[in-house]
């Protein structure tokens, strides 16, 4: 698939797994993605996303698996990620992100 990930992704409220990896999505990850509070698995790896990780991801309290690797994402990893109680897998490799890693929440065992 090519183009932007539409903000209507917020309408997938019952989804528990979304894997849109290895496409050609570009532009930013829409902030509306944070409305998927019960999503467990999100993979957006190997795309062309740009910009920063939306802060609304902190609302995805069911998230256990998040892979944003191999994109053009830059900026900071929101400190609010420490409030994701179930996050077990987080991959942003081959991105231009930076942050002081928290020692709380899912990062306490890092």
Give the pTM. 0.87
Q: What domain count does the chain have?
A: 1
Residue 102 DSSP label: P
pLDDT of amino acid 10: 94
* Contact status, residue 37 vs residue 60, Cβ threshold 8 Å: yes
Q: Is 76 helix (H, G, I), strand (E, B) or coil?
A: strand
Q: Which residues pair with 76 in a beta bridge?
A: 98
pLDDT of amino acid 42: 98
Q: Which of 108 and 30 is assigned the larger pLDDT?
A: 30
- CATH number, residue 75: 3.80.10.10
Domain containing 97 equals 2-107
For 39, the token pair is 């999503």
């Amino acid at each position: 698939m090519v183009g932007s990930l539409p903000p209507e992704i917020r309408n997938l409220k019952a989804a528990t797994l979304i894997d849109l990896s290895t496409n050609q999505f570009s532009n930013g990850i829409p902030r509306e993605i944070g409305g998927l509070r019960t999503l467990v698995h999100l993979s957006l790896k190997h795309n062309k996303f740009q910009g920063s990780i939306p802060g609304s991801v902190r609302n995805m309290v069911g998230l256990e698996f998040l892979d944003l690797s191999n994109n053009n994402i830059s900026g900071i990893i929101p400190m609010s990620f420490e409030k994701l109680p179930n996050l077990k897998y987080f991959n942003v490799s081959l991105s231009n992100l930076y942050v002081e890693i928290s020692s709380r929440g899912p990062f306490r065992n890092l």
